[in-house]
Structure 1
Amino acid sequence: MKRYIILITMVLFSQLLNAQDNIKAISKIQYEFKHVDDTSQPDNPYVEDVFVLMSQDVSIQKSLTVQNVRNSINDMIYHPKKNEQGMVVFGVPKIDKDASSYEYLNNIKDKEYVLLNNIYDTYYIIDQDYPVINWELLNEQKIIGGYNCQKAKGLWKGRTYIAWFTLEIPQSFGPWKLHGLPGLILEAEDEKKEVSWSYAGFETVKDTVGLINYPKKAIKTNEAKFNKLYDALKKNPDAAFKAAQAASPTGQVMLTNMYVTGFSSGKHKKENYKAKVINNPIEILKK
């Protein structure tokens, strides 16, 4: 666990200081995401708490664990707490679920969908196909979180999803790439029950924490190129860190930017389970 915390801590804080466009969010929804990423271990899914910040035209999905660690680093830097020896203490938040530093940004007005990530001080905008799902509206209804919801069915990249959306929140968003209904998606699950997002709360956003940020001076790339860079980082993190130092104008990588991106504890062995073989992607079809 210490290794996970160090790796997460090393990446997290940088995006707070590097934004060129701050779009004010008006609402926020939280989900518990589950994914059976190793079919030989259906009882050991990837489990992550995620939240989606939304304006009327743009949404961004982030990891709640990553956000909690980022907030803790922020407190450590700007509101330091010291122990009896006078040393600054980092208040590590409880990490009992998986975490990924990928952020998913959906601009429905400009039909743009990208992944956001960084490797040390270098930021990347990772292009994606814009997800267009032809939803079939169904007559079935139920209440989720106090909201009246309607059932819909749609196909995306080899999986058929059942989604529950509410007209009471007229924002055409949802988790991940699921969107395009006439109201907010509160829950969704594929028909094989291998991928799901369960409703965990909705609220309006009234303060400056609710900002949707585009990274500053980011490099546009694709998933294959980014994954190649990240794989090289995992194989030789010391060399990657020295390269980041050499590329820095000051010869240093700030604490706030020392964060290894793309790290997911869900791909590692958990208690009482063997190491995973990731053999069941969310997107079964690439085209």
Structure 2
Amino acid sequence: MNIMRLSILSILLAWCLQSIAQETPIAKINYVFRHMNDTTQRDKFTRDEVSTFLGKYSSYYTSVSNEKFNASLKEKMSSPSFDGNILLNKNFTPAKSAYVLDTEKKNLQHIFRIVSDEYLLEDTYPQLNWDIQEETKEIGGYSCQKAITTFKGRTYEVWFASELPFPFGPWKLHGLPGLILAAHDIKNEVIFEFDGFELIEEGTTQRIEPSAKAVKASVTEVEKLDKLYAENPNGYMQSRGGNSGRVVAGTPGTSFTFKSSSPGSITTSNGSNSVANIKSISIKNDENYNPSKITNNPIELIP
């Protein structure tokens, strides 16, 4: 048994002594998510990097692409050679929805993000019926077993690892006697590829819950706000009182939002406020990443 597995077992033992009220993540699993959102362009997929933060009773699924992108931008601005010009290639489309799943309370919380604003929407706890198969294979060094379920109009094939005793996985997929390491629907239109499993250091302040700034809203309200942002980003910022960050124009059809402690500023690792030093920003899709802007094939085919 290697050191990683020993660490997992020791943390799980301590974790079992926690109360539900103290739920914090002890590990996370990373996936590369791909979605064929437009069936008229079947060779094109949206792409995202996502993670599920894992607790004993609950999990938190979210996109981490923007976080990594912001880190890349900050690194460039902190460099001594920074000349005020930023050129970044983008190969992802961050999901706007995140989910907190609680298996004890049978509760699912849907967090919808518009820039740095978060809206809390009502959602239905997913009840999944699994058919566990005999077929096995290895993923990421873990022995996995196959399982199948039908959910929201799609049939999913997943691979779960019993030695990682978390009943969770990507998105809303959950309920197996082990962590789901990979999943896809049988048409290969929705795909979650394993991208690593890691333990989270003890003493983390992160909680498996919506952030304090998440506000309750109806689906209708959020749809209107999302449409406003898509059509007029700066107009959306003004309607929110300028508290969502600052949008800086890049190449035609693109924009980038600086997230910071104070509107309109970003502080780099050397302590300088670098927004005023920016001469130009060019953010464009990688030449190999050109997903359709049309969605006629949502992940959930059935509401």
TM-score, normalized by length of structure 1? 0.74
Q: Which residue of 2 aligns with 1:136?
A: 131
Write out per-residue CA displacement over residues 151-208 of structure 1, whole angstroms, 9 at most, x where no aligned residue: 1110101101111111100000000010011110011111111111111111111152
1:110 equivalent in alignment to 2:105: yes
Write out per-residue CA displacement over residues 52-78 of structure 1, whole angstroms, 9 at most, x where no aligned residue: 1111112112222122145467879xx
Identity of aligned residues (%): 32
For residue 181 of structure 1, the aligned residue among 176, 180, 189 is 176
Any residues of structure 2 matched to 1:18-29 within 5 Å, and which? 23-29=23-29
For residue 235 of structure 1, the aligned residue among 213, 231, 237 is 231
Displacement of 1:134 after TM fit? 0.5
Any residues of structure 2 matched to 1:9-88 within 5 Å, and which? 23-71=23-71, 81=78, 83=80
1:151 equivalent in alignment to 2:146: yes
Write out per-residue CA displacement over residues 23-58 of structure 1, whole angstroms, 9 at most, x where no aligned residue: 421111111111111111111111111111111112
Tell me the secondary structure at the aligned position of residue 226 of structure 1: helix
Question: For the residues of structure 2 that align with 1:274 and 1:109, how far apart are their CA atoms?
Answer: 38
**Runs of 5+ unmatched residues, structure 1:** 1-20, 260-264
Displacement of 1:98 after TM fit? 2.3
- Name the amino acid aligned to 2:241: Q
Displacement of 1:222 after TM fit? 3.7
Question: For the residues of structure 1 that align with 2:35 and 2:291, how far apart are their CA atoms?
Answer: 17
Question: For the residues of structure 1 that align with 2:295 and 2:93, how far apart are their CA atoms?
Answer: 14
1:192 equivalent in alignment to 2:187: yes
Structure number with higher relative contact order (C-alpha < 8 Å, ≥ 6 residues apart) = 1
Over aligned residue pairs, what C-alpha RMSD do you find?
3.6
Q: Does the 8 Å CA contact 1:157/1:283 hold for their aligned counterparts?
A: yes
Q: How many residues align?
A: 251
Displacement of 1:210 after TM fit? 5.4
| Pair member with larger Rg | 2
Displacement of 1:221 after TM fit? 2.5
**Runs of 5+ unmatched residues, structure 2:** 1-20, 245-257, 265-282
After TM superposition, the structure 1 stretch with the greater mean CA deviation from structure 2, 61-70 or 106-115, is: 61-70
Write out per-residue CA displacement over residues 220-265 of structure 1, whole angstroms, 9 at most, x where no aligned residue: 23434312221122223333222222789xxxx9844769xxxxx9
1:282 equivalent in alignment to 2:299: yes
Write out per-residue CA displacement over residues 139-161 of structure 1, whole angstroms, 9 at most, x where no aligned residue: 11111111111111101011011
- Name the amino acid aligned to 1:278: T
Write out per-residue CA displacement over residues 94-113 of structure 1, whole angstroms, 9 at most, x where no aligned residue: 63222234322211121121
1:216 equivalent in alignment to 2:212: yes
- Name the amino acid aligned to 2:223: N
Question: For the residues of structure 1 that align with 2:300 and 2:261, how far apart are their CA atoms?
Answer: 33
Q: Does the 8 Å CA contact 1:22/1:214 hold for their aligned counterparts?
A: no
Question: For the residues of structure 2 that align with 1:192 and 1:132, how far apart are their CA atoms?
Answer: 22
After TM superposition, the structure 1 stretch with the greater mean CA deviation from structure 2, 139-148 or 22-31, is: 22-31
Return closer, same or farther for 1:101/1:270 CA change in 2, 3 Å cut-off: farther
Tell me the secondary structure at the aligned position of residue 99 of structure 1: coil
Q: Does the 8 Å CA contact 2:59/2:102 hold for their aligned counterparts?
A: yes
Q: Does the 8 Å CA contact 2:149/2:157 hold for their aligned counterparts?
A: yes
Tell me the secondary structure at the aligned position of residue 24 of structure 1: coil
Q: Does the 8 Å CA contact 1:120/1:257 hold for their aligned counterparts?
A: no
